[in-house]
Amino acid sequence: MTDHLWLHFARHGAGVTHPIITRGEGVTIFDDRGKSYLDALSGLFTVQVGHGRTELAEVAARQASTLAYFPLWGYATPTAIELAERLAHYAPGEVNRVFFTTGGSEAVETAWKLAKQYFKLTGKPGKHKVISRSIAYHGTTHGALAITGLPSYKAPFEPVTPGGFRVPNTNFYRAPEPFAHDDKAFGRWAADRIAEAIEFEGPDTVAAVFLEPVQNAGGAIPPPPGYFGRVREICDAYDVLLVSDEVICAFGRIGSMFACSSDIGDFGYVPDMITCAKGMTSGYSPLGAMIATERLFEPFNDGSTVFPHGYTFGGHPVSAAVGLANLDIFEREGLNDRVRHHAPAFRATLEKLHDLPIVGDVRGEGYFYGIELVKDKATKETFSDTECERLLHGYLSPALFEAGLYCRADDRGDPVIQVAPPLISGQAEFDTIESILRSVLTEAWARL
């Protein structure tokens, strides 16, 4: 049935078959056999308000009957204007100039291009390099791929865009000595590696630092205390732009519209740019954005200077209308407050898995968690590449799905299970996630 469909990030041939998902309702998805699964990954960290929201489909149909499409290439549309105003209202500080894309990779690409041109326009043409963290994922286009800190993702496409450099991530579970028992000292050490990298590359060559509030690849890695405050200081000292990549973390995933402005966890910083997508429309229509400060917009506000960049479907009028309706649901149903209220229970439920010998760490924020798997809890010994292949792809991925749980077995760093359910989830869903994970992980350990 899928002979002509080339799936993304998927294996094909040699008898491999792929599930066919036909519909969704609330927190549940269904396949073509009628079997149901708890969507514990929100599609792909995307379906914040849950599946089957007919009001979003109806909004899309109404907008399409009025103005189905027009580009933002020198023209504006009412839905793009209104959504930009809403996003600027939610964003911190003067992060209020919205450039629409159709997805997250495009938003990251846009941010890097803007950083380069901004410094050329302001008398610092040598600043073009970007710094990001090891194992971090920032997208698949050639520019975004250069920012991504996953060598295996880049190898098939080398040479990638030059200018991307890596610093350590903030996985406290894997913190080096002497920081293994002092998360604040570890946060300072990790942040200072950014200053070290800027000095090494040359401050007059570095344009931006790209960081996720909670790093996705490697398993929902939160920032240690003081980390982002120190990073902001470093960026200011070297005139380097701080980009908060919130393609996953924005729109309620950790309990606020934008994670950088959250007062939970170690956030509360004002970046120079925010990149976002996914939850902006809860996946009901493709849409992303790069949101920049007034400072970055100023050189383009002279009546003649152009940012020569854009996308055919960026800010699509139907997608923007869906985004507005999606944000209406957020406000009407108090989804950010809901996440903040239920997040401690979600954490506590997942932390029950600590009693399993295969579970080394449970970490994350809000409705965004990773469970790191180990061979030895005492030594934190991880699995070899061969063992990861057998454990994650050979057993866990199909076994979890067959047990009725759609989540992610991820080997982009040390092996983890990622869970990020729709924001409408509650204790019943948390218990189901924990129960299925417990059963399948117990069996996985027995098979090792």
In tens, the pLDDT along 430-442 reads: 999 999 999 999 9
Compute how many other C-beta atoms are within 10 angstroms of the C-beta atom of residue 425.
25
Last residue of a domain, one of 333, 350, 379: 333
Last residue of a domain, one of 318, 333, 348: 333
Query: How far is 437 from 396, CA to CA, in rounded Å?
Result: 9
134 confidence band (pLDDT: 50, 70, 90): very high
15 occurs within a structural domain: no
pLDDT tens digits along 34-85:
999 999 999 999 999 999 999 999 999 999 999 999 999 999 999 999 999 9
pLDDT at 49: 98
Bridge partners for 206 per DSSP: 129
Last residue of a domain, one of 287, 310, 333: 333
Q: Is the pLDDT of residue 263 over 90?
A: no
The one-letter code for the residue type at 337 is: D
Q: What are the tokens at 37?
A: 């699964």
Query: How far is 132 from 285, CA to CA, in rounded Å?
Result: 29
Bridge partners for 117 per DSSP: none
pLDDT at 266: 78
Domain holding 310, by residue range, is 57-333
| Residue 29 shares a structural domain with residue 80 | no
| Residue 304 shares a structural domain with residue 173 | yes
On whether the CB atoms of residues 227 and 190 are closer than 8 A, the answer is: yes
Query: How far is 313 from 204, CA to CA, in rounded Å?
Result: 35
172 confidence band (pLDDT: 50, 70, 90): very high
| Residue 285 shares a structural domain with residue 402 | no
Query: How far is 269 from 252, CA to CA, in rounded Å?
Result: 17
pLDDT tens digits along 323-375:
999 999 999 999 999 999 999 999 999 999 999 999 999 999 999 999 999 99
pLDDT at 448: 84
309 occurs within a structural domain: yes
| Residue 275 shares a structural domain with residue 205 | yes
6 occurs within a structural domain: no
Percentage of the chain exceeding pLDDT 90? 95
228 confidence band (pLDDT: 50, 70, 90): very high
pLDDT at 1: 63
Query: Domain count of the chain?
Result: 2
**Region 128-147 average pLDDT:** 97
Peptide bond into 178 cis (omega under 30): yes
Query: How far is 307 from 322, CA to CA, in rounded Å?
Result: 27
Among residues 186, 165, 174, 248, the alpha carbon closest in space to that of 213 is found at 248
| Residue 207 shares a structural domain with residue 354 | no
Among residues 134, 190, 120, the alpha carbon closest in space to that of 164 is found at 134
| Residue 232 shares a structural domain with residue 304 | yes
pLDDT at 2: 75
On whether the CB atoms of residues 56 and 46 are closer than 8 A, the answer is: no
| Sheet strand arrangement including 21-25 | 21-25, 28-31, 36-39, 405-406
Tokens 């920049």 belong to residue: 292
| Residue 241 shares a structural domain with residue 220 | yes
| Residue 327 shares a structural domain with residue 338 | no
Comparing 264 with 382, which gets the higher pLDDT? 382
86 occurs within a structural domain: yes
Q: Is the pLDDT of residue 4 over 90?
A: yes
CATH number of the structural domain spanning residue 32: 3.90.1150.10
- Looking at every residue in the chain, the average pLDDT score rounds to 96
CATH number of the structural domain spanning residue 179: 3.40.640.10
Among residues 341, 245, 349, 332, the alpha carbon closest in space to that of 290 is found at 245
Question: What's the farthest any 2 CA atoms get from each other in the chain?
Answer: 68
pLDDT at 60: 98
Query: How far is 273 from 197, CA to CA, in rounded Å?
Result: 21
On whether the CB atoms of residues 252 and 260 are closer than 8 A, the answer is: no
| Residue 318 shares a structural domain with residue 407 | no
Query: How far is 367 from 425, CA to CA, in rounded Å?
Result: 9
pLDDT at 418: 98
**Region 119-148 average pLDDT:** 97
Query: How far is 111 from 241, CA to CA, in rounded Å?
Result: 10
Among residues 320, 303, 285, 267, the alpha carbon closest in space to that of 67 is found at 320
pLDDT at 369: 98
First to last CA, the chain: 35
| Residue 441 shares a structural domain with residue 418 | yes
| Residue 47 shares a structural domain with residue 77 | no
287 occurs within a structural domain: yes
Query: How far is 428 from 43, CA to CA, in rounded Å?
Result: 19
9 occurs within a structural domain: no
pLDDT tens digits along 265-292:
779 999 999 999 999 999 999 999 999 9
14 occurs within a structural domain: no
Among residues 366, 360, 355, the alpha carbon closest in space to that of 413 is found at 360
| Residue 148 shares a structural domain with residue 48 | no
Q: Is the pLDDT of residue 411 over 70?
A: yes
Give Cα 95 to chain centroid, integer Å: 19
11 occurs within a structural domain: no
